[in-house]
Amino acid sequence: MDIDAVNALPYEDFVDVFGNVVEKCPIVAAAVWSTRPFASLNALEAAVSEFIDALPESGKEGILRCHPDLAGRDLQRGTLTRESRGEQAQAGLDALEPAEMSRMARLNGEYKERFGFPFVICARMCDKANILQQLSERCRNERAAERARGVEEVKKIGRLRLQGLVLTGSPDKL
């Protein structure tokens, strides 16, 4: 799909295609549609980032809370979104050893207890060892720094999802 095709989408189709660029937050796609036409894929990415940056801190935390835990309940129950399932599998999180699984669950729980939102990281840019290490390190951060870090990871996840949709196309979505 080239950028002209993206710009030509009515908002219903735009939200169908891009509604999960930010996990379970179709409001982001619905909002950035108003800022068409996009000059390029980079401009579309920038519009997503700008929308997120303009949210109050509670909105940014809300976005983080829409993300499923890594190797958590949704993965076990088979209720992840298609995008998240692919990302978690790519990082090897669907094939953890029992000891890795319990360490991940314990650290995810500690993180959520401390910050009130889940640990978010761009799984496609990591492997499971790296994710576990960062999870344990980031548990020690301050809340505001961790909120900002989580938001940056949301943007990385979104950038890769957007590239997948625009550069490789997604015929089943149009």
67 binds ligand 3AL, rule: CB under 6 A: yes
122 binds ligand 3AL, rule: CB under 6 A: yes
Tokens coding 132? 């576990």
- Identify which of residues 123 and 166 has a Cβ nearer to ligand 3AL in the complex: 123
Stretch in the footprint of ligand 3AL (CB under 6 A) among 14-22, 33-41, 42-50, 112-120: 112-120
- Identify which of residues 48 and 70 has a Cβ nearer to ligand 3AL in the complex: 70
121 binds ligand 3AL, rule: CB under 6 A: yes
Q: Which of 14, 22, 23, 38 binds ligand 3AL (CB under 6 A)?
A: 23
The CA-CA-CA angle for residues 89, 13, 37, to 5°, reads 105
Instruction: Determine the Cα–Cα distance for residues 150 and 62; give it in Å rounded to an integer.
Output: 11
Q: Report the candidate in 153, 155, 160 with the shortest Cα–Cα distance to residue 111.
A: 153
Q: Which of 96, 123, 151, 165 binds ligand 3AL (CB under 6 A)?
A: 123
161 is catalytic: no
Q: Which of 6, 44, 120, 151 binds ligand 3AL (CB under 6 A)?
A: 120
21 binds ligand 3AL, rule: CB under 6 A: no
Stretch in the footprint of ligand 3AL (CB under 6 A) among 9-17, 32-40, 66-74, 166-174: 66-74
Instruction: Determine the Cα–Cα distance for residues 153 and 123; give it in Å rounded to an integer.
Output: 9
**Among the options 60, 67, 138, 147, which is catalytic?**
67
151 binds ligand 3AL, rule: CB under 6 A: no
Establish how many alpha carbons lie within 13 A of residue 6's alpha carbon, considering only the half-sphere containing its beta carbon.
Answer: 27
**Annotated catalytic sites, by residue?**
67
Which spans of this chain sit near ligand 3AL (rule: CB under 6 A)?
Answer: 23, 67-70, 84, 87, 118-124, 157
